[in-house]
A and B are shown apart, each in its own frame.
Chain A
């Protein structure tokens, strides 16, 4: 912990309002000697979208990657503190990250479909996790996932085409279909629309809004307007600290911290 940081401003109405899906307490992240996150604690509600905002290098993506143990893959990265999903500690070496990642799906900035058919992109996860016993069951999962991702109508007649043959926006929705095919609890999204045009962005945002009925979605975005449009809760990070976390409407109309206000209004900090 550094001496400069202050306690994050948290709003009192967070915990009771909805069920907590992800509970984080006292998380520090070091990359070698460098500390990237300082004592982050927050409770992320289920069935809603929580947006992480902040300038580049503020630690928001680092923090997002803690939730599915992606930092394990980075040499020298050390995550300490408690991260619980539905009360189960996940920052624990006895938890298999591969199993964890089935329940915590991730969508990246650039759509990354496998070099396989549309069908196989979605079927891959359920197959390796043994979620379907028969071909019919697998077909059902693929269809349902593509329907949920709002892509079925556009691809149902060409499921054998390569996933990479789709447009950027369709690819991103394919990747989301792939993520939800394994019945995740939490979906992490790291700037999911930054490579998409406004129409494709609108479709993905509409999809995110529909998905929040069933999932806990945590999203990193550089677009303040997007955070305002799609999230119910917003967390502002700065220099590795969680500065303010509260209902999105309040953060964007009446933030309580000067640093939050300077950032979202586009002023020099």
Chain B
């Protein structure tokens, strides 16, 4: 593993392009984090106006992914990045893709929030909130790991995915139980199941990001490190 160099590029414009790419990834990460928090709030507070905002911002998230892809292609074509620059550039492509997917899932959660408003409030929503809080914490921590080039929190996020899965499974079990006992809960319950599933998927994307951060910083894959661990 090599430390990321603090030296400037001899070709200033190349260094600026790499900085620009990192900045846009950071902005996209921030925006997507807001999307997830807002989508969850829309479900918990039954607020349709938030849902609308989330859907609108989704367009910006998608545009950012397209722009990052363009920047990455340009860097490969014109700069042929090597070593850490290579890792930063290829990781940007992976991050943009995962962040876009998270944005998409947040948007879908927001849709479900709007639909859920036409049914009476469900107690199980509290469990959704808890699952959502764990997932947003995972996302925040992995984005912090990215901005700090720090693998330790990334590894923690990767390992904590089990906690997300446990909460997800218990929400599913409880909802299915409720639905089988009361058929009027089947319609809102289906929405709740989708929200839970989407949150769990966001958790999976957080582990992807953790892997990408680990590779960017160390040059090794997280799986290989975990496999080698005693």
| A267-B86 in contact (CB<8A) | no
Contact B14 A266 (CB under 8 A): yes
B123 to chain A, nearest CB (A): 51
Q: A252's closest neighbor in chain B, by CB?
A: B82
Interface of B with A (CB < 8 Å)?
Answer: 1-3, 5, 7-11, 14, 80-87, 218-220
- Residues of chain A within 8 A of B83, CB atoms compared: 252-255, 260-261, 264-265
What B residues does A257 contact at CB under 8 A? 2
Binding site for B on A (CB under 8 A): 224-225, 228, 252-258, 260-262, 264-269
Contact A261 B86 (CB under 8 A): no
A261 cross-chain contacts in B, Cβ below 8 A: 2, 5, 83-84
Instruction: Out of B14, B80, B219, B220, name the residue touching A225 (CB < 8 Å).
Output: B80
Query: Within the assembled complex, what's the spacing in Å between the Cα atoms of A258 and B82?
Result: 13
**Minimal beta-carbon separation of B92 from chain A (angstroms):** 16
Contact indicator A265/B9 (Cβ below 8 Å): yes
Q: Which 8 A-B pairs have the closest CB atoms?
A: A254-B219, A267-B7, A264-B82, A268-B7, A261-B83, A265-B85, A261-B2, A266-B10
A84 and B219 alpha carbons, distance in the complex (Å): 35
How many residue pairs bridge A and B at CB < 8 Å? 55
State in angstroms the CA–CA spacing of A10 and B3 once bound together: 18
Q: Apart from A254-B87, A258-B2, A268-B10, list 19 A-B contacts with CB within 8 A.
A: A225-B80, A228-B82, A252-B82, A253-B86, A253-B87, A253-B219, A254-B83, A255-B2, A257-B2, A260-B2, A261-B5, A261-B84, A262-B5, A265-B81, A265-B82, A267-B5, A267-B8, A267-B10, A268-B8
In the complex, the answer to whether B1 meets A256 with C-beta atoms within 8 Å is yes
Residues of B contacting A224 with CB < 8 Å?
Answer: 82
Q: Cβ of B9 and Cβ of A258 under 8 Å apart?
A: no
Q: Would B2 and A256 count as touching, CB distance under 8 A? A: yes
- A254, B5: Cβ atoms under 8 Å? no
CA distance A256 to B7 in the complex (A): 16
**How long is the Cα–Cα vector from A164 to B2 in the complex, in angstroms?**
47
Residues of chain A lying within 8 A (CB to CB) of residue B9: 265-267
Most buried by A among B11, B80, B82, B85: B82
- Taking the closest CB of chain A, its distance from the CB of B111, in whole angstroms, is 41
Chain A residues with CB under 8 Å of B218's CB are: 254
Smallest Cβ-Cβ distance to B82: which chain A residue: A264
Provide the bound-state CA to CA distance between A262 and B82, in Å. 10
Cβ of A266: which chain B residues have Cβ within 8 Å of it? 9-11, 14
Q: Using Cβ atoms and an 8 Å threshold, which residues of chain A touch B11?
A: 266
A254 to B83, CA, bound (A): 5
A-B contact pairs, 8 of them (CB 8 A): A228-B82, A253-B86, A253-B87, A254-B1, A254-B219, A254-B220, A261-B5, A261-B83
Q: Is the CB of B8 within 8 A of A258?
A: no
Q: Is the CB of B5 within 8 A of A258?
A: yes
Closest to A268 in B: B7
Q: Chain A residues near B84: list those with CB within 8 A.
A: 261, 265
Closest to B18 in A: A265
Residues of A within 8 A of B82 (CB): 224, 228, 252, 264-265
Q: Which residues of B contact A254 (CB under 8 A)?
A: 1-2, 83, 87, 218-220
Judging by beta carbons under 8 Å apart, are B1 and A265 in contact? no
Q: Which residues of A contact B7 (CB under 8 A)?
A: 262, 267-269
Residues in A neighbouring B86, C-beta threshold 8 A: 252-253
Alpha-carbon distance A267/B8, docked complex (angstroms): 6
Alpha-carbon distance A258/B7, docked complex (angstroms): 10
A260 to B8, CA, bound (A): 15
**Chain B residues whose C-beta falls within 8 Å of the C-beta of A268 in the assembled complex:** 7-8, 10
A261→B6 CA distance, assembly (Å): 11
Which of B5, B9, B11 has the most C-beta atoms of chain A within 10 angstroms of its own C-beta? B5
Who on chain A is nearest to B7 by CB?
A267
Bound together, the chains give a CA A267 to CA B9 distance in angstroms of: 4
In the complex the two chains form, what is the Cα distance from A255 to B81 in whole Å? 13
Q: Which residues of A contact B1 (CB under 8 A)?
A: 254, 256
In angstroms, how far is the closest chain B Cβ from the Cβ of A204? 19
Chain B residue with Cβ nearest A251: B83
Pick from B11, B84, B218 the residue with the most CB of A within 10 Å: B84
Q: Complex Cα distance A228/B1, Å?
A: 19
**Which of A253, A264, A266 counts the most B-chain CB atoms under 10 A from its CB?**
A266
By a CB distance below 8 angstroms, the chain A residues around B81 are: 265
* Alpha-carbon distance between A253 and B82 when the two chains are bound, in angstroms: 6
Contacts of A265 in B (CB 8 A): 5, 9, 81-85
